[in-house]
């Protein structure tokens, strides 16, 4: 009898211990590492899991990466039914396609933080965390105008056609409107892809015999631009401004070996880490995040580049 009572007591203790240990079961749904930036997203998400679980015994984090919107929708169901999450941080593969799946989790009591790519119905989320896409456009435009002395001819490479890309381009153009001496020759989509940007820049170099500066709104694209310029042996281009602070670009800036690389604008994939940390710390206290949190996008130069250099990150 004593043995039986002891067994029951131990079982109950184990149950209560497990309940006490896991106060927050947090799911993280992100795109798979199909290019530099998303590789950084995956790396920072797993860093958050490693560090935050070590710091908070009552926290369990499950990270899932998806190659498509359909796969991500399925992963959300797994997180709910198998992992029993009560909070979610998601960077949607696609805004429209993931809105309904997220709504379903939210309707079942899961606290939802959406990162970067907003849903088509904000009512499906509790909080939104993003980089500053307006500053992502204004910062390079202001720097380019200043470096060119308010006079010059430039080209721009855009990302994938999205609301984020539109916001950045609109902000860039709004600054140029205040500098009529800066002429934007053309802007085409390089799709945040190094190879696509290389081809777009080749076209620009063929069409325009003189270019003073290039805004390549992503560092993967900026490397493609540099390759095209070097292959064409063009020496007229004084400045190539990328974006997001990739470690290879920041390292170039720190070294000062390429005079065309003078500055960048921050939009690090580390914001997924920040979103996970903010959500975990807030929910562990039984509180809610602000409805909208914007992580500043700031100018990176040689003077502060070391603060934006993360050598262990793939991006």
pLDDT of residue 37: 85
Integer Cα distance of 197 and 245 in angstroms: 17
Confidence of residue 8 (pLDDT cuts 50, 70, 90): very low
Integer Cα distance of 98 and 144 in angstroms: 37
Residue range 276-305: mean pLDDT, rounded: 96
Model confidence over 256-267: pLDDT tens digits?
A: 999 999 999 999
Does pLDDT of 3 surpass 50?
no
Percentage above 70 pLDDT, the chain? 93
Average pLDDT, the chain: 92
When mean pLDDT is compared across 17-21, 85-89, 109-113, 211-215, the lowest value belongs to: 17-21
Residue range 196-221: mean pLDDT, rounded: 98
More confident residue, 205 or 312: 205
pLDDT of residue 147: 98
pLDDT of residue 310: 87
Confidence of residue 55 (pLDDT cuts 50, 70, 90): very high
Length of the chain: 315
CB atoms within 10 A of CB 235: 7
pLDDT of residue 57: 93
Superfamily of domain 133-265: Response regulator (3.40.50.2300)
Model confidence over 111-140: pLDDT tens digits?
A: 999 998 888 899 999 999 999 999 999 999
Tell me if domain 2-131+269-295 and domain 133-265 are identical in fold.
Answer: yes
Confirm if 263 and 240 have CB atoms less than 8 A apart: no
Integer Cα distance of 161 and 176 in angstroms: 21
Confirm if 184 and 155 have CB atoms less than 8 A apart: yes
Question: Hey, what are 110's tokens?
Answer: 């899961």
Integer Cα distance of 275 and 271 in angstroms: 6
pLDDT of residue 20: 47
Contacts of 43-46 with C-beta under 8 Å, sequence gap 24+, read: 43/269, 43/312, 43/313, 43/314, 43/315, 44/269, 44/270, 44/272, 44/273, 44/313, 45/272, 45/273, 45/276
Confirm if 88 and 105 have CB atoms less than 8 A apart: yes
pLDDT of residue 35: 76
- Please report, for residues 93, 112, 162, 221, the alpha-carbon distance to residue 118 in angstroms, rounded to integers and kept in the order given: 10, 12, 11, 23
CATH of domain 2-131+269-295: 3.40.50.2300
Instruction: Concatenate the DSSP letters of all residues of 102-162 into one string.
Output: HHHHHHTT-EEEEESS--S-GGG-SEEEEE-HHHHHHHHHHHHHHHTTT-EEEEEEE-SSS
pLDDT of residue 245: 94
Model confidence over 150-195: pLDDT tens digits?
A: 999 999 999 987 778 889 999 999 999 999 999 999 999 998 899 9
The label of the residue with tokens 């860093």 reads 47
Integer Cα distance of 273 and 268 in angstroms: 10
Confirm if 112 and 125 have CB atoms less than 8 A apart: yes
Domain regions of the chain by residue span? 2-131+269-295, 133-265
Confidence of residue 16 (pLDDT cuts 50, 70, 90): very low
pTM: 0.77
pLDDT of residue 10: 43
Does pLDDT of 74 surpass 80?
yes
The SS3 assignment for 166 reads: helix
pLDDT of residue 7: 45
Does pLDDT of 1 surpass 50?
no
């Amino acid at each position: 009898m004593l043995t039986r009572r002891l067994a029951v007591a131990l079982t109950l203790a184990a149950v209560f211990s497990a309940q006490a240990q896991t106060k927050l079961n947090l799911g993280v749904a992100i795109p798979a590492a199909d290019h530099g930036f998303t590789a950084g997203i995956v790396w920072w998400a797993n860093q958050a899991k490693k560090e935050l679980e070590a710091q908070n015994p009552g926290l369990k984090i499950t990270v899932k990466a998806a190659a498509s919107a359909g796969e991500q929708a399925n992963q959300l169901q797994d997180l709910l039914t198998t992992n029993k999450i009560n909070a979610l941080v998601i960077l949607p593969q696609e805004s429209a396609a993931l809105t309904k799946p997220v709504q379903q989790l939210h309707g079942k009591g899961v606290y939802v933080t959406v990162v970067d790519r907003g849903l088509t119905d904000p009512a499906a989320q509790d909080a939104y965390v993003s980089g500053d896409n307006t500053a992502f456009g204004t910062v390079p435009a202001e720097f380019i105008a200043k470096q060119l002395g308010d006079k010059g001819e430039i080209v721009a490479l855009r990302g994938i056609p999205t609301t984020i890309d539109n916001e950045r381009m609109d902000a860039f153009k709004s600054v140029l409107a205040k500098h009529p001496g800066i002429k934007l020759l053309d802007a085409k989509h390089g799709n945040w892809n190094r190879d696509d940007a290389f081809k777009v820049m080749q076209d620009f170099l063929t069409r325009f015999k003189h270019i003073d500066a290039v805004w390549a709104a992503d560092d993967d694209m900026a490397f493609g631009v540099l390759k095209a310029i070097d292959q064409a042996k063009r020496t007229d281009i004084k400045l190539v401004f990328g974006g997001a602070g990739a470690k290879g670009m920041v390292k170039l800036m720190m070294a000062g070996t390429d005079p065309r690389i003078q500055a960048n604008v921050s939009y690090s994939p580390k914001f997924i880490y920040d979103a996970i940390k903010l959500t975990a710390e807030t929910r562990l206290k039984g509180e809610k995040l602000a409805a909208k949190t914007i992580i500043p996008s700031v100018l990176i130069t040689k003077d502060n580049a070391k603060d934006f250099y993360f050598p262990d990150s793939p991006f």
